[in-house]
Structure 1
Amino acid sequence: MFKRIDHIELIPTDIEKSIDFYVHILNFKVKTRKMVNLADMSPLKEVVYLELGDTVLELMSVENPSLKSSQPWITGYRAMALEVEDMEKATKYLEGKGVGITWGPVDLGNSVRAEFKDIDGFDIELRQWK
């Protein structure tokens, strides 16, 4: 019946800056980009689907988006996680691109985990499974 998570939706403050971050820093590819002109979908203006492997991220451009809470432990989605083959290589790559690691890397026994934030402050986890 249920197969997999199809996609995750994010509402960035600036869709162009987010596309640049996810494409040029995290190597996502633009799958589809389209303007939205439906009265019942207002204030939605544009959607962009980005792919990384078999994962799809949908960026949604809306008029006057509300800012994300600064509290890290709120009800709802907390983070998106990206699996990496080599944690040290991944964290050094991100730091070389000016992306700071906000937590870790920490060895959890069965995996190594680290976290960073995208340009809007959304938490992104890195996970290297052992």
Structure 2
Amino acid sequence: MFKRIDHVEIVPTDAERTINFYVDIIGFKIQSRNEINMPPMKEVIYLKLGDTVIEIMSIDNPEPKSEAPWKVGYRALALEVEDMSKAVAYMESKKIPITWGPADLGEVLRAEIQDPDGLIIELRQWKKQSTQSLT
């Protein structure tokens, strides 16, 4: 019945700044931009990386995110990387701080960065060459 996660929605403080981060730093491509006439929603932008899609929702005056580190809700977006050392060096060259890790967790290497609004992005390198499943 259910097939897969279709996309993840993000409501940023500044849609253009967030789009630039995901496109210029992470490597997503803009798939589409659609103006929406449903205040406070102004625009919906779809970004794609491989078969992963993020929907950026441009909203007038969104409420700030909670600062509680362990709140109920989605915690992080996880991106698989080919080589953790290269990914960390790349982020540092772009002045994007590594906020946690990298750490060796057995089957994986894991680190974290944050997007412009402080949303957590996990960087994960599976030690085996093939993509792993968490099932």
The equivalent residue for 1:103 is 100
**Matched residues in 2 for 1:126 and 1:36: separation?**
32
**Unaligned segments of structure 1, at least 5 residues:** none
Alignment of 1:24-43 (within 5 A): 24-38=24-38, 42-43=39-40
- Secondary structure of the 1:37 match is strand
**Matched residues in 2 for 1:118 and 1:109: separation?**
26
Output the TM-score relative to the length of structure 2.
Answer: 0.92
**Matched residues in 1 for 2:33 and 2:48: separation?**
12
The equivalent residue for 2:133 is none
**Matched residues in 2 for 1:22 and 1:80: separation?**
12
State the AA in 2 paired with 1:55.
Answer: T
1:17 aligns with 2:14: no
**Matched residues in 1 for 2:58 and 2:89: separation?**
31
The equivalent residue for 2:57 is 60
1:37, distance to aligned residue in structure 2 (A): 1.1
**Matched residues in 2 for 1:26 and 1:53: separation?**
12
Of 106, 110, 119 in structure 2, the residue corresponding to residue 122 of structure 1 is 119
**Matched residues in 1 for 2:69 and 2:6: separation?**
25
**Runs of at least 4 residues off by over 4 Å:** none
State the AA in 2 paired with 1:90.
Answer: A
1:128, distance to aligned residue in structure 2 (A): 0.3
1:43, distance to aligned residue in structure 2 (A): 1.1
State the AA in 1 paired with 2:60.
Answer: E
Task: Render the CA deviation track for 1:42-64: whole Å, top value 9, x for unaligned.
Answer: 31110100001100000001111
RMSD, aligned α-carbons: 0.7
1:71, distance to aligned residue in structure 2 (A): 1.1
**Matched residues in 2 for 1:4 and 1:103: separation?**
28
Number of residue pairs matched by the alignment: 127
